Amino acid sequence: MGKAYSHRVTVRTAYHRVVLLVAIALSAGLLSPLVPMASAAPAPGPRSSGLDARDYAGPIPARPGTLIAHTALDPALSLPGAGPAFRILYSTVAQRDRPAVSTGAVFLPQGTAPSGGWPVLAWAHGTVGIGDDCAPSVQPRTTVDSHYLASFLRRGYAIVATDYAGQGTPGVTGYLDAGLQGRSVVDSVKALRQLAVPTAPRYAIVGQSQGAQAAMAAARLATGYSRGWGLDYRGVVATGTPANLETVFASVGPAFPPAFVPASIAGGLTVFVSYLLVGLRVERPDLGIDRVLTPLGRSVLAQAGTACSDQFAADLARRKVTLNAMFTRGLSSLPGITAALVRYAGVPTRGYDRPIFLGHGLSDLTVPVVTTLTLAGQLTANRQPVQVHYYPGADHLGAQLVSRRDSMPFLARILNAPGKR
């Protein structure tokens, strides 16, 4: 069984040095497994299930979380063992607090719902790309995610899975934009409450990797942001959480990564940073990110806005595009960039009012365990309700699966306990 640990403030005070020491691993981390062979097959065409919202031009309800439309989900996009499944369209908020819409999927367990309805898990997905055709509700789920989510359905949880605003809908989704992703997650639960299906007001949030960062952002605002909707937020499960990456982001430039970094790692970093900058450029046009990009850099960001992760990585590898060649000077030369990155991608370290479950594999080379070590230290120093579980021998995706032996009892406890609205 995974063991919960407490962390002393010393971890928090040392985290800057630790993050710098593993900067290369962290930077490669989020996408290193997404660097495929150049012969990677293209993603299948998107299946909108009759609800294509890429060019949605209808009215956007003023109240975020309002269900706009729904349809039966294409069976090819459902989960193993699922009962009824739907694709939904709902109102939310995008960059600079603009009204926006998001799509998502709803999966219900088979059989008869218990009295009061199925308790709900809000799923925050990991990296798939930021283009409309990459949205998880129009593509088959990965094998790992399908297996993972299906195990919760078998335990009697309904699942609502956002695509995040701007992914499959007008606008640009903000990759690792904590505010945008967090609000999309909570607003999906509000929308679910308006669907004529038997779900309970009790819900928890679950996310992996990029989705773990989104889940933590959602958890920080869930109680207040869902107030008035008859919802009862209970807690969060986050595995493989990327945190405290702002120093790494600000270090990107013509001399980063250093020449000794293997090509496969550097390629993953190129994909990751490209996705990040596409969203940050929309959120903060005043930073002038284009001023430090070469013509190649600008063309790569244009491609990043539509290309799904596997194909994008394969194409950059085939063309031998390097991150260094995308910049004329470092991001750190832009006034205000570090503060902007903290605001954009930072994981909150205080203000949580419900239990937090962090899980991480000790053999994770995708998002190194130092990210959870430092985050847990910050949360503990701020007296937040966190428990941490480490899994020897587990890598990034392995920890997602093995953590269920601890996260399942955690979710059962918080979702079945007397609640406070």
Q: Where are the domains positioned within the chain?
A: 1-421
pLDDT at 256 over 90: no
Q: What's the predicted TM-score (pTM) here?
A: 0.89
The predicted model gives 413-420 an average pLDDT of 78
| pLDDT computed for residue 28 by the predictor | 40
| pLDDT computed for residue 122 by the predictor | 98
- Taking the C-alpha atoms of residue 323 and residue 258, their distance in angstroms, rounded to an integer, is 10
pLDDT digits (tens, 9 = 90+) for 365-395: 778 888 899 999 999 999 999 999 999 999 9
pLDDT at 46 over 50: yes
Identify the architecture of domain 1-421 in CATH.
3-Layer(aba) Sandwich (3.40)
Calculate the alpha carbon distances from 32 to 53, 200, 225, 266, 270 in Å: 31, 38, 34, 9, 10
CA 32 to chain centre: 16
| pLDDT computed for residue 41 by the predictor | 45
- Taking the C-alpha atoms of residue 398 and residue 150, their distance in angstroms, rounded to an integer, is 16
| pLDDT computed for residue 13 by the predictor | 40
Reduced to 3 states (helix: H, G, I; strand: E, B; else coil), residue 119 is strand
pLDDT at 96 over 60: yes
The residues facing 421 across adjacent strands are none
| pLDDT computed for residue 191 by the predictor | 98
pLDDT at 264 over 80: no
Write out the H or E segment, with its range, that includes residue 215: helix 210-225
pLDDT at 265 over 50: yes
| pLDDT computed for residue 368 by the predictor | 83
| pLDDT computed for residue 245 by the predictor | 81
| pLDDT computed for residue 32 by the predictor | 42
| pLDDT computed for residue 63 by the predictor | 96
Q: Which long-range contacts (CB under 8 A, 24 or more apart) does 317-323 make?
A: 317/35, 317/38, 317/263, 317/267, 318/38, 321/270, 321/296, 322/266, 322/270, 323/252, 323/256, 323/257, 323/266, 323/269, 323/270, 323/273
